[in-house]
Chains A and B, each alone.
Chain A
Amino acid sequence: MAYVAIADRDHVLHDPETFIRKYIWSQDHKVIAIQYSITAIAIGLVALGMSVLMRLQLGFPHAFSLIAPNNYYQFITMHGMIMVIYLLTALFLGGFGNYLIPLMCGARDMVFPYMNMLSYWVYLLAVLVLVAGFFIPGGPTGAGWTLYPPQAISPGTPGSSWGIVLMLVSLGIFIVAFTMGGLNYVTTVLQARCRGMTLMRMPLSVWGIFMATVLGLLAFPALLVGAVMMTLDALLGTSFFLPAVISMGQPPTHNGGSPLLFQHLFWFFGHPEVYIVALPAFGIVSDLLSTHARRHIFGYRMMVWAILAIGCLSFVVWAHHMYVSGMNPYFGFFFATTTLIIAVPTAIKVYNWVLTLWRGDIHLTVPMLFAIGFIFTFVNGGLTGLFLGNVTVDVPLSATYFVVAHFHMVMGVSPILVVFGAIYHWYPKITGRMLNDTLGKIHFWLTFLGTYAIYLPMHYLGIMGVPRRYYAFGGTTFLPDSVQSVNAAITISALFVAAVQLVFLFNLVWSLAKGKPAGGNPWRATTLEWQTPDTPPKHGNWGPKLPVVYRWAYDYSVPGAKEDFIPQNQPPDDRTPAAHEQVPAL
């Protein structure tokens, strides 16, 4: 049951009057979304820079003296953590979640605007604390993004004194920020939808973001528990995780801790985290495909149920990351089974995306290209997941480049393609101007093909047995010389793909001033955010009256309709065919 009163009351609109209140300490969800996005993209570029440095070392070992082994491990760690948490999670939920939820639900703002504002500033603090790791003695932690103890807090690991502490503190702060934002997103979806916007009329973008937020709220505490306990191990000498280890000839300072306990906690968060990133991408890509194929989403109800099923199942698959960690073998059997089960709702979604395109009026716009690119990439990454989900196949592939290729395809490239598609799609609403189409297509093709040039060969390296995390390969006789040639080629592709992103950044800035004016609804889309009285939407989004919703979000190419789309807020009238005349969906 929606509760529109809070969203419709004038006094909660808190119209900003000064520059600072409008753009800095803003409580407007759209400004907060942009703040989140800019910060996430900025820190993401830092992580991209680190991946370039890592690739230079792997492609041309020892050619660059600035990349010492310690730096390499620090780059690995920071790259992974930033990309997963500080870029993707923050961008999908803090960025797109903030922008889209109130607009797509027909609300004026989030239900707790002040807390929403705090959420961004606490997130920024988390980023600053993380970055501070580069400026302290010993540098940031180099424990790998999973931060496994005892290595993470043992002498000899880069950043094992203060780098790891800053990382853990930063994660704790991030979780506080996420919780403040997440409570807002969940409550807004449940309580601030406009009249007529039933749960089953919500666009799939909102469903994806909503469920991802629920996962985040329930899974991030596991990371917090692990981070707090490891901080105590590092600073106060407790032995939650740290076993008795004789390090560098010194007697042990800890007793009996359980490193496996940390792994359980980490992956109890870590696997839902995959879906915290994936579910918003699933939702957004559904909307992109439907809008640009001018066809209703195939199997809307199945799509919603699949999102819910994936969300629930994502909590019972975590230990498939730990097949080689020394668990009871029966656990492996259990988690392999649940891992294969979660492939079912995921496959339903893939089939439905393809069937949405079937007999659609496909417009190969830039957002559509990225959406189709996502389907290819996600299927690729998903199929290699079937290999790694099975214990007997996983064991020889563990800790090889096959794993690196798999998770980059499924969790790196796939969601990033959706991020790009979404930015090309909603940029006109956010700024009032279109992004340049030619630059967008160049950006898509070079990024799409370039990433395949990076990650397809990595599968081959993995099957050859090339281990991941190695700074350099020397004396490994089982690896032929061709491995180095492949590594050099991958590095060249990676440098190329990184450089191509400059085209995107240029397009973002250039189009802000020179882009073609977009008008209110350039894609002729049905969802509410395209029906605002102003573009970009003003504070409060809807002018004096909230919209009323009469239909679902996917009335495209309805037979007999005057246009090939019917906005959600258009009342039924003579020109609109009756329900029974419309094309039924599943």
Chain B
Amino acid sequence: MSLAVAFGALLTGIVIWALLARRLTAKPWETSAIPPEQMEVDSTAGPPPAKVGLWAFLAVITSLFGLFISAYWMRMNHVHGVSDWHPIIVPQQLWVNTVLLVLSSAAMQWARWAANHARPDHVRAGMLAGGLFAWAFLAGQLFAWHQLNRSGYLLDNPAVAFFYLLTGVHGLHLLGGLFVWGKTVIAMARPRVELVDLHLSVELCTVYWHYLLLVWLVLFGLLLST
């Protein structure tokens, strides 16, 4: 784990350095002779703060799930005498749920495309479909929990406990996304709403959805392979 972290840190450092090298090697003690109106900062430049905030939040989520996955590996390989880790057969329902989440993400992407091409009807349809597929995914996850519970798996098997934990934490993140989705859908229903006002929300929802799909694919792969 330590080597992986060290490598990750090194890689992150190199990327950050490459991105910022020019700015971080500036000589700030030299007073600028550039008039203020020509200074590098421009009020319309750069991405909107909400977008930067979302990417920072995705970094936090990456850290969270990365650590959950590390804990999963370490606990799985922790053997003290006889191992208490008994691999489980994941419910078949998860395949259906994965398709639902892919559809949800695809619908969101459709809404984003429509927002970029000024097609408000398609935005509404895409957003609604994306949200409904996500709700269906969550319902499917609950059904998978029910199936697992009915199969007689007990929580004292850490593989089972991790199954509930990982799927639960992922589901909670999706619920958070659905809260924002709900606000956007309500805003869309208001009369005289302009697409331009919703464009950013649609885009941020889409990015978040894609990211949660990626997280789910990693988690599902992990659960299937172990």
B68 adjacent to chain A (CB < 8 Å): yes
Q: A6-B49, A217-B59, A296-B29 are in contact. Are A229 and B71 (CB under 8 A)?
A: yes
Q: Is there contact, CB below 8 Å, between A196 and B63?
A: no
Distance in angstroms between the alpha carbons of A555 and B1 in the assembled complex: 46
Residue of B nearest to A184 (CB): B53
Q: A239-B84, A239-B158, A316-B9 are in contact. Are A2 and B165 (CB under 8 A)?
A: no
CA distance A47 to B132 in the complex (A): 49
Interface string of B10-27 (1 = CB under 8 A from A): 001100100010011111
Q: Please, what's the 1-or-0 string for A215-243, where 1 marks a CB less than 8 Å from any CB in chain B?
A: 00111011011001100100011111001
- Interface residues on chain A, size class: 35 or more
* A132 within 8 A of partner (CB): no
- Which of A284-292, A437-445, A505-513, A578-586 binds B? A578-586
- Give the distance to chain A from B201, nearest Cβ to Cβ, in Å: 14
Q: Does A187 contact B29, Cβ atoms closer than 8 Å?
A: no
| B9: chain A residues within 8 A (beta carbon) | 312-313, 315-316
State how many angstroms separate the Cβ of B116 from the closest Cβ of chain A.
Answer: 21
- CB neighbours (8 Å) of B1 from chain A are 264
Name the residue in A187, A305, A572 with the highest tally of chain B Cβ atoms < 10 Å from its Cβ.
A187
CB distance from A565 to the nearest CB of B (A): 14
Given A196, A219, A583, which contacts B32 in the complex, CB threshold below 8 Å? A196
Which listed residue, B42, B63, B78, touches A218 by the CB 8 Å rule?
Answer: B63
Query: What bracket does the count of chain B residues touching chain A fall in?
Result: 35 or more
Report the separation of the CA atoms of residues A222 and B65 in the bound assembly, to the nearest whole angstrom.
10
CB atoms of A196 and B39 under 8 A apart: yes
Interchain CA distance A194-B42 in the complex, whole Å: 9
**CB 8 Å contact bits of A307-342 with B (1 = contact, 0 = none):** 010001101100100000000000100110010000
Chain B residues near A219 (CB-CB < 8 A) = 63
Within the complex, the shortest CB–CB distance from A559 to chain B, in Å, comes to 13
B:1-58 near A, CB below 8 Å: 1-3, 5-6, 9, 12-13, 16, 20, 23-33, 36, 39-50, 52-53, 56-57
CB distance from B172 to the nearest CB of A (A): 10
Which residue from chain A places its CB closest to the CB of B6 in the assembled complex?
A316
Q: In this assembly, does A548 line the interface, its C-beta being within 8 Å of a C-beta of chain B?
A: yes
- Taking the complex as formed, is B64 at the interface, i.e. its CB lies under 8 A from any CB of chain A? yes
A199 touches B41 (CB 8 A): no
- Decide yes or no whether B80 CB sits under 8 A from chain A: yes
- Contact of A32 with B by CB under 8 A: no
Q: Is B156 an interface residue (CB 8 A)?
A: yes
Q: Quick check: A315 and B33 within 8 Å, CB to CB?
A: no
- Report the Cα distance A254→B39, complex, angstroms: 64
B180 located at the interface, meaning its Cβ lies under 8 Å from any Cβ of chain A in the complex: no
Q: Contact: B24 with A199, CB < 8 Å? A: yes
With both beta carbons as reference points, the residue of chain A lying nearest to B69 in the complex is identified as A225
Chain B residues lying within 8 Å of A193, measured Cβ to Cβ, are 41
Q: Which of B132-191 contact A (CB under 8 A)?
A: 155-156, 158, 161, 165, 169
Identify the interface centre among B3, B29, B40, B74: most chain A CB within 10 Å of its CB.
B29
Mostly, the A contact residues are: helix
- CB-defined contacts of B80 to chain A, threshold 8 Å: 243, 256, 258
Known contacts A221-B63, A224-B64, A316-B5; A552/B41 CB under 8 A: no
Q: Beyond A6-B49, A224-B64, A232-B161, is A265–B40 a contact (Cβ under 8 Å)?
A: no
Q: Which of A1, A236, A300 contacts B41 (CB 8 A)?
A: A1
CB pairs A–B below 8 angstroms (27 shown)? A1-B45, A3-B43, A5-B44, A183-B57, A187-B53, A193-B41, A195-B36, A198-B23, A199-B20, A200-B28, A221-B67, A225-B71, A229-B165, A237-B155, A238-B155, A238-B156, A243-B80, A261-B74, A265-B71, A305-B24, A312-B9, A338-B6, A548-B39, A551-B31, A554-B29, A572-B31, A579-B29
- Chain B positions within 8 Å of A, measured between CB atoms, are 1-3, 5-6, 9, 12-13, 16, 20, 23-33, 36, 39-50, 52-53, 56-57, 59-60, 63-64, 67-68, 71, 74-75, 78, 80-85, 155-156, 158, 161, 165, 169
Given A187-B49, A239-B158, A582-B30, output 17 extra A-B contacts at Cβ < 8 Å: A1-B45, A2-B41, A2-B46, A3-B43, A3-B49, A183-B56, A191-B52, A195-B36, A199-B23, A201-B28, A228-B165, A239-B84, A256-B78, A256-B81, A256-B158, A260-B78, A555-B31
**What 6 pairs between A and B have smallest CB-CB spacing?**
A256-B84, A552-B28, A221-B64, A3-B46, A111-B49, A579-B30
